[in-house]
Amino acid sequence: MSRRGFTLTELLVATIVFLVGFVSVFALFLGGMKMRKLAEDTTRSSLAASCLIDEIRIDAGGGGGGIPQMPAAYAGDGFSPFREGTNFLNGEEGVLNDLFSLTNPLFRYKPIPGVWYRVINATDLNGGNDAQTTVIKLDLLIVPLGTADTTLTFSDLNRRLGVFSGMSKEELRVATIEQISTLLVARGIGFRFQAVVTRRPSWLP
């Protein structure tokens, strides 16, 4: 009885089929890992945003010894600077429509490790800066980035992830924080949350 082995062609076909199957399974595995990370980042960012908004609501309603702060005073770290001796009642220069700078900081949200944030904008319902308003619209950027650093700027973010590698120096110079935040979201690095905070009018009788 004669024995017939595999031909070279059959071995090549079997190898190709195996490689195609292996690459497909590996791609599914990588996709699953990516989706898992996205889900984890989304969950952590949503939780941080919810907690931050509640904290800002408390600060916006009772801070400043009963003196109402303009909505723009909550841009940045999200809390009124009144406690630091800064009074925003006499002007809003440099607060609204702030130009982007690589030195602009992101703020660490300590209750949830690895989460950084910045309040991009804060206005009244009409998009203005009425100190007497009891409703504040917040535009919040959350960046989930596991790092042991105690400070983080947009420059640090760019150095780590090459966020602005496709932008010229001139484009960066005239960009606003709003535009940069939109870019971070488009690249899957950050998350944007819009919220309406109704503050307790402690300054009213």
pLDDT value of residue 167: 85
* Closest among 190, 147, 150, 192 to 41, alpha carbons compared: 190
Task: With CA atoms as reference, report the closest residue to 143 among 197, 193, 82.
Answer: 193
Burial 48-77 (b: 16+ CB within 10 A, else e): bbeebbeebbebbbebbeeebbbbbbbbbb
pTM value? 0.76
Q: Which H or E run includes 56?
A: helix 8-62
Q: Is residue 86 part of a domain?
A: yes
Q: For the segment 123-157, what is each residue's pLDDT rounded down to a tens digit?
A: 998 889 888 888 999 999 999 987 777 889 988 88
- Give the pLDDT band (50/70/90) at residue 103: confident
Q: What is the pLDDT of residue 175?
A: 85
Tokens of 166: 């496709």
Which comes out higher in pLDDT, residue 71 or 30? Answer: 71
Nearest 5 degrees, angle CA 61-CA 65-CA 68? 50
- CB-based contact 53:140 (threshold 8 Å): yes
Q: Which of 20-24, 77-81, 117-121, 199-203 has the highest mean pLDDT?
A: 117-121
Q: pLDDT tens digits for 17-45?
A: 888 888 888 888 777 888 888 888 888 89
What confidence category does residue 120 fall into, taking pLDDT thresholds of 50, 70 and 90?
very high
Residue 202: predicted pLDDT:
67
Return the number of other C-beta atoms located less than 10 Å from residue 5's C-beta.
6
Position 64 pLDDT exceeds 70: no
Tell me if 45 is assigned to some domain. Answer: yes
- Would you state the pLDDT for residue 205? 60
Angle at 147 between CA 188 and CA 96, to 5 degrees: 60
State pLDDT tens for residues 170-192. 888 888 888 889 999 998 899 99
Residue 70, domain member (yes or no): yes
Given CA atoms 100, 102, 105, 108 in this order, what sign does their dihedral have? positive
> Over 60: is that where the pLDDT of 97 sits?
no
Residue 142 belongs to some domain of the structure: yes
User: Span 76-103, mean pLDDT?
Assistant: 58
For 95, the domain range is 9-198
pLDDT in tens, 5-19: 678 787 888 888 888
pLDDT of residue 25: 84
- Residue 3 maps to a domain: no
The answer to whether 97 touches 129, Cβ cutoff 8 Å, is no
Q: Is the dihedral of CA 65, 67, 68, 72 positive or negative?
A: negative
Domain count, the chain: 1
Using alpha carbons only, give the angle 130, 136, 141 rounded to the nearest 5 degrees.
125
Task: Quickly list DSSP for 14-52.
Answer: HHHHHHHHHHHHHHHHHHHHHHHHHHHHHHHHHHHHHHH
- Asked, for residue 4, whether it belongs to a domain, the answer is no
pLDDT of residue 94: 38
- For residue 98, is pLDDT > 70? no
CA count, 13 A, side-chain hemisphere, 177: 26
Q: Is residue 1 part of a domain?
A: no
Looking at every residue in the chain, the average pLDDT score rounds to 81
